[in-house]
Amino acid sequence: MPKRKRAVTRDAASRREAIRKRERRVVETEEERSRRLSTMERRAKETEEQRNSRLAVMAQRGQQRRAEETEEQRNSRLSAMLQHARERRLNVIEGQNHHQIQTFYASRTVLYSLFI
C-alpha cells in the first residue's frame, strides 16, 4: 500500500506543476519566452562541472539570504513551508480517498453484475 501512496503523491504533484508551467507560459511575453528558451539551450550545453558550480553558487546565495533574514522573516518562511506540507498531505489523502472510492464502486459493479 505505501507504494500506491507515493504514486498518488507524485502524480498529483507533477500534474499541479505541469498546470503551473502552462499557466506561466500563457502569460509570458515574447522576450520572456526567448530568454527561457536560450537559458534552456545554454544549460543543455554546459558540462557537469559548470552545472555543479552554478548549483553551488545558488546554494551559497540561499545561505547568505537565510543568514541575513530577520527572525520575523524566518518565522514567515517556516510557516509557509509548514502550510505547503499540510496542503501536500491533504492532497495525498484526497488522492487516496479517490482511489478507494473508485475501487469500491468498481467492486460493487462487478458483484452486482454477478447477481443479475
Is 78 within a domain?
no
Tell whether 9 and 54 lie within a shared domain.
yes
Is 60 within a domain?
yes
Is 75 within a domain?
no
Which residue shows C-alpha cell 502552462? 22
Using CA atoms, how far apart are residues 54 and 18, in angstroms rounded to an integer?
25
Structural domain boundaries, residue 94:
88-115
Name the more confident of 74 and 107.
74
pTM as predicted: 0.40
pLDDT at 50: 93
Tell whether 1 and 29 lie within a shared domain.
yes
Tell whether 7 and 50 lie within a shared domain.
yes
Summarised one tens digit per residue, pLDDT across range 20-77 is 888 888 888 889 889 999 999 999 999 999 999 999 999 999 999 889 999 999 999 9
What is the amino acid identity at position 28? E
Is 76 within a domain?
no
Tell whether 64 and 92 lie within a shared domain.
no
* Count: domains in the chain: 2
Quote the cell numbers at residue 27: 502569460
Tell whether 61 and 5 lie within a shared domain.
yes
Is 23 within a domain?
yes
DSSP letter assigned to residue 47: -
